[in-house]
Amino acid sequence: MIDLRLLREDPDRVRASQRARGEDVALVDALLSADERRRSSSVRFDELRAEQKSLGKLIPKATGDEKAELLKRAGELSAAVKAADAEQDAAAEESQRLLLQLGNLVHPDAPIGGEDDFRVLEELGAPRDFAAEGFEPKDHLELGELLGAIDTERGAKVSGSRFYYLTGVGALLELALVNAAMAQATAAGFTPMLTPALVKPRALEGTGFLGQAAEDVYHLDKDDLFLVGTSEVPLAGYHMDEILDAGELPRRYAGFSSCFRREAGSYGKDTRGIFRVHQFDKVEMFVYTTPEDAEAEHQRLLEWEKQWLTSLELPFRVVELASGDLGASATRKFDCEAWIPTQGKYRELTSTSNTTEFQARRLSIRMRETKDGKQRVRPLATLNGTLCAVTRTIVAILENHQQADGSVRVPEVLRPFLGGREILEPVRQARTT
């Protein structure tokens, strides 16, 4: 959540952010009104309580009519104090409810607009010219079936649409990707983590995934637990309700987990293969740092993602998402999109978001620092970045490194994790048409 003081001092900035997100600007004024009611009712409660305490000291000393009058006033005050307390609680609850609906402030450098208004920052690597090489590229599913690596038919038979099996070299390729990604992250100073796949509502709400993204989340009603769509959620919750020493920041974690998404609203999109699925594995980077270093850390996360995709020898571009395409918690977000030959376009493989103090405030994660000889405690900043979303990365590797006979060249960075294998060989004949 944002700082209420900022809302009071500069409401126009918050209104502009809401407008840029395409969200309800009236929410800002409703929140300001609720906050004013909360503060005024709190003052009223304190005044009444002070009068009640003063009256309590006078009553034992009074006699006769004076005492009767004081007792009458004490009864009136008791009722007024209860009413003011209830009003204060109601206003505070309303303020909190509205505050949780408000997205993070959009970064001033973020492009304004919707999904199609992203800004291309750079392109790295050149897509292959398959026509010049003399063959038409196969898509990842056909390649995966030739390699004995992907089985979507049995995935659908057992679990339904958008489920799959990775088999043989497909399973080995996933493990190679995870281990290579973790090796890069560990070398960069990240602490490897295996995180829970089920979390309590507070962890999900604290990271901002129970708002606009709620329809994509699987909920276990009986247990009131949620399946995570990213290990960002348990990594953010790892230090909730804690105070970290500023001298120990940044704290960097690389979490591996299975991720689950309903893919609500994606009917008809990417139905073939394993690009958009309900369950996939992912290596996620997560950082706790000072608010002052958050922007620099965001650039570092982006560089680590670029390093990873470059090591996989994939052509890709870096884009900055527009304001209306940001998640509720992000102030700014960069995506790395790999070229997918059979689709003839770039598709998202990794992303990194700066959530500033937004998640930390919701999860009550603070930092203790010493300044001018005095200690103070304040919210810190959190950031996240996908290093390897495995299924999408497999799609990009198969399509970009395929050869005319249906085999696939293994990027050099993955070979040590595949027993030195340089080529993934077909185990089935290609279909003839």
The residues carrying an active-site annotation are 261, 276, 348, 351, 392
Helix ranges (H only) for 100-200 are 130-133, 140-146, 152-159, 169-187
d(CA 196, CA 178): 17
In the numeric block, the tokens 């290093």 are attached to 387
Q: Is the CB of residue 258 less than 8 Å from the CB of residue 280?
A: yes
Task: Map residue 51 onto helix, strand or coil.
Answer: helix
Q: Strands 243-245 and 366-371: what pairing?
A: parallel
Q: Enter the DSSP assignment of 431.
A: P
Look at residues 39, 56, 49 and name the one whose alpha carbon lies nearest to residue 80.
Answer: 49
Which tokens go with 71? 């007792």
Please answer whether residues 319 and 334 qualify as being in contact, where contact means their C-beta atoms are separated by less than 8 angstroms: yes
| Three-state secondary-structure class, residue 47 | helix
Nearest CA to 301 out of 229, 232, 237, 379 is that of 232
